[in-house]
Amino acid sequence: MVSAPRHRSGPQADGSGDDPSTHDPSTHDPSGHDTPGHDTPGEVADLFYALCGRRRDVRGQFTGAPIDDAVLRRILGAAHAAPSVGLSQPWDFILVRDSGTREAFREHVAAERDTFARELSGEEAATFSKIKIEGILESTLSVVVTYDPDRGSPAVLGRHAIADAGLYSVCLAIQNLWLAATAEGLGVGWVSFYREPVLRELLSIPERVRPVAWLCLGPVTHLEQTPDLERHGWRSRLPLDAVVHAERYPSS
């Protein structure tokens, strides 16, 4: 289990964590190295790798208990500290607590689940029928993360040749959010069984903006050690050596 972070002067959602005047020099070393009196670099690395291993996609373990406002702010601050192409920070985070909105989305997701299920047959269909794919109503709140391609445009430094670089940036913010929530002892579940126009309509998201993720967030009874899809026999994780290659993409 990853212990709760001892440092509380991390990135803030309002960006104040990046303002040198608000840094607590006792906890921040601009060299990026360890600060005396705190974790050694080795300890920080151990905590980080443990955190990566501990993070899970959560569907069935949400308790619905409240989240402290300060904790939520820290998690969103971590997301907002993510790298982004041309420093465009093209993300927005919509906090959805309203039960009517969540029920409406849950209904749409159930219909999309049926659509996917109809593509399956035999053993695959039987396995999928037992897999829970969302915890929209059981979690404490939802965070919908969006991508605004106009943020910082037209001259987004580094995006001229790869339009998707903006989308990559949003995904990095989501991963920061996911790891921060895990460090805070909370669970996150990414739901992608939806059609973008439906979610746009539900949350009044403008046409140019893409909803990238519906994230269920909240306290959990526990985090499983093995991904749900692996536990249910849908698919297993690949060994690292299957995806690390020397010099060239492997020939098929």
Binding site for ligand FMN (CB under 6 A): 56-57, 59, 133-134, 190-193, 227, 229
Report yes or no: 116 and 213 within 8 Å, Cβ to Cβ.
no
Q: How far is the CB of 192 from ligand FMN (least distance, A)?
A: 4
> Which of 14-31 are b and which e, b meaning 16 or more Cβ less than 10 Å from the residue's Cβ?
eeebeeeeeeeeeebeee
- Locate 104 and state its tokens: 């409406």
**Judged by CB, which is closer to ligand FMN: 78, or 133?**
133
**Judged by CB, which is closer to ligand FMN: 74, or 214?**
214
**Judged by CB, which is closer to ligand FMN: 185, or 227?**
227
143 sits in which H/E element = strand 141-147
Residues 6+ apart with CB under 8 A from 80: 11, 13, 15, 89, 91, 173
Q: How far is the CB of 100 from ligand FMN (least distance, A)?
A: 21
Q: How far is the CB of 135 from ligand FMN (least distance, A)?
A: 8
Query: How far is the C-alpha of 183 from the C-alpha of 69, rounded, in Å?
Result: 16
Q: How far is CA 120 from the centre of its chain?
A: 28
**Judged by CB, which is closer to ligand FMN: 152, or 202?**
202
Q: How far is the CB of 120 from ligand FMN (least distance, A)?
A: 15
Q: How far is the CB of 55 from ligand FMN (least distance, A)?
A: 7
Report yes or no: 199 and 211 within 8 Å, Cβ to Cβ.
yes
**Judged by CB, which is closer to ligand FMN: 17, or 187?**
187
Residues in the chain, total:
252
Report yes or no: 199 and 145 within 8 Å, Cβ to Cβ.
no
